[in-house]
Structure 1
Amino acid sequence: MALLLTHARYQFLETVRVPIALVGNAFFPAAAMLFFVVPAAGDHPVGATIAAASMMIFSVMTSGLFTHGIGVAEDRAQPWDPYTRTLPAGPWPRFGARVLTALGMTLIGILPVLAIAVFLTEATATPVQLLLGLGALVVGSIPFQLLGLFIGYALPLKAAVAVVQLVFFPMAVGGGLLTNPMDPPAFIAAVAPFLPTRGAAELVWAAVGYGTPRPLAMVMFGVWIVIAGALAVWAYRRDEGRRFS
């Protein structure tokens, strides 16, 4: 635990020392909330609440995919990373620290969305629902963090930047984060349950009191976690074998 917290502290400080990382993490969810949700559903309590929850999933995706996918690939190119991987601590403190760092970035990223929802919309949630929603966001972040770790350990930086962007937008749109979940387009309705974004969104929607997660979305959410976890471990071991054997 001490090693985990030490690594987490180092990685979090390293991240926040680049202010644009904080701005970028919070900008897209807040901008989407401000320019799309407020005008379209700001005066509708149910619509505003569900939309705010969807924008928080945006923050979860940004933190998981970009913080890990690009951050890990960038770290691998630095001399400090090979050195830390020769230390006898093993991989799990470093893996766990990256997860904690991404969760911290997620909390930072959802604050502007939450503020916009409170002050500029009719979104409503009880304190208990907010706590449940936060827990659902943590659970919902798992597949995106694992996918980010897979991309970061499997690809060099330039390729990781492109792949993260290619993964991020189709998952966000295909998962229905930018459409009315009650009446989505036919294509989105057909594709969404098979993407982790939809499973994460339905968890958060249910946590704040709207709807029940569908079995197909939850099953596919679990499948994504298993596959992404296996790919992340494989990519880490592959990178370690190539660079240190």
Structure 2
Amino acid sequence: MTTPSTPAPSLPRLAAPSGRRAPLLPALAQLVLAELRRMIRNPMFAVGTLGFPILWFALFGLPNARETTDSGVNVGQYLIVSFGTYALLSLAMFSFGAAVAIERTGGWLRLLRASPLPAPLYFAAKILAALLFSALSLTLLYTFAHFAGGVTLPLGLALTVLGKLLLGMIPLIALGLCIGFLVNPAAASVMANVLSVLVSFASGLFVPLNQLPDVVQRAAPYLPGYHLAQLGWSAVAHDTAHDLTHWLWLAGFTVVFGSVAVWAMKRDEARGQ
């Protein structure tokens, strides 16, 4: 999946006619809406993050949706988590990897630095938009699984899975920002493609880990996608004994990737990128 360059959204006005700083909340809302429009208007991005998870479920989930695992977990519920995690991983890699690289090299970030817009507001808007788009992707996936495959999640369980996956997406966003600030747009698109596929497979999202080579099974616990999926799988299996371990791993990934992204951003600022 590739994401062609799209025009940057128009910059919201932050200065009132009297010269006073306008409230930041309306500016944040404008930026979130602009980011959502950018996502929706990019066909490849929208199809990749909304359509592909549904396609994978149709191909691999529907034939097995009503079966159960050896531990009694419904396979359809398990696969909702698997392909939902893949959707969030892809969204983070492209929305914060390829898109940020395009905005950085295209001069959009230089314009933001010269404007009254605080930099944290820009990132907050992108994160909020990504979470909203992710919630939409997960909702569409569940809706398809429910009506096409008869897979049902009780409301409480559905909200628990949704909350875990969205909160656990933060380190994926940080990883996407690393890509966006470290490489050029062409390389960012390739890297986003490669990482989203490799991490998904190595985390057991498409093939159960116990069916993968030993080297992949040993590497999986060092991947953020693995821990994110484990949190969702533990919810549908009603076995949350190891959740704290997975949250700690995700927090560590956030610190590491976030630190690298901040360093790379400051390096670009120093270079005048």
TM-score normalised over the length of structure 2: 0.81
Q: Deviations over 1:76-135 (max 9, x none)?
A: 233443212212332100111111121122123223321221023243321011111111
- Counterpart Cα distance in 2 of 1:37 and 1:217: 25
- Counterpart Cα distance in 2 of 1:233 and 1:71: 17
Does the CA-based 8 Å contact 2:99-2:180 persist in structure 1? yes
- Counterpart Cα distance in 2 of 1:119 and 1:237: 48
* Mean CA deviation greater in 164-173 or 101-110: 101-110
Residue 85 (structure 1) aligned to one of 107, 113, 135:
113
Q: How does 1:1-245 map to 2 (within 5 A)?
A: 1-2=24-25, 3-39=27-63, 41-44=64-67, 46-180=74-208, 183-185=210-212, 186-212=214-240, 214=242, 216-243=245-272
Deviation of 1:137 (Å):
1.3
Q: Deviations over 1:51-73 (max 9, x none)?
A: 11111001111111111101111
Deviation of 1:174 (Å):
0.9
Residues 187 and 211 (structure 1 numbering): CA distance in 2 closer, same or farther, change over 3 Å?
A: farther
Does the CA-based 8 Å contact 1:22-1:109 persist in structure 2? no
Deviation of 1:190 (Å):
2.1
Q: Deviations over 1:124-177 (max 9, x none)?
A: 321011111111111121111111111112211011111112211111111111
- Counterpart Cα distance in 2 of 1:189 and 1:21: 30
Provide the alpha-carbon RMSD of the alignment: 2.0
Amino acid across the alignment from 1:38: L
Residues 212 and 187 (structure 1 numbering): CA distance in 2 closer, same or farther, change over 3 Å?
A: farther
Q: Which structure is higher in helix share?
A: 1
Does the CA-based 8 Å contact 1:193-1:217 persist in structure 2? no
Amino acid across the alignment from 1:140: G
Q: Percent identity?
A: 26
- Counterpart Cα distance in 2 of 1:112 and 1:6: 25
- Counterpart Cα distance in 2 of 1:176 and 1:118: 23
Give the length in aligned residue pairs: 242
Residues 117 and 210 (structure 1 numbering): CA distance in 2 closer, same or farther, change over 3 Å?
A: farther
- Counterpart Cα distance in 1 of 2:109 and 2:247: 36
* Mean CA deviation greater in 127-136 or 217-226: 217-226
Deviation of 1:9 (Å):
2.1
Amino acid across the alignment from 1:23: V
Larger radius of gyration: 2
- Counterpart Cα distance in 1 of 2:75 and 2:239: 12
Amino acid across the alignment from 1:82: R
Deviation of 1:18 (Å):
2.8
The list of structure 1 runs, each at least 4 consecutive aligned residues, that deviate by more than 4 angstroms after superposition, is none
Please name the residue that 2:71 is paired with: none
- Counterpart Cα distance in 1 of 2:116 and 2:34: 18
- Counterpart Cα distance in 2 of 1:14 and 1:118: 29
Q: Can you give the 5+ residue segments of structure 1 that lack an aligned partner in the other structure?
A: none
- Counterpart Cα distance in 2 of 1:24 and 1:165: 11
- Counterpart Cα distance in 1 of 2:79 and 2:112: 42
Amino acid across the alignment from 1:241: A
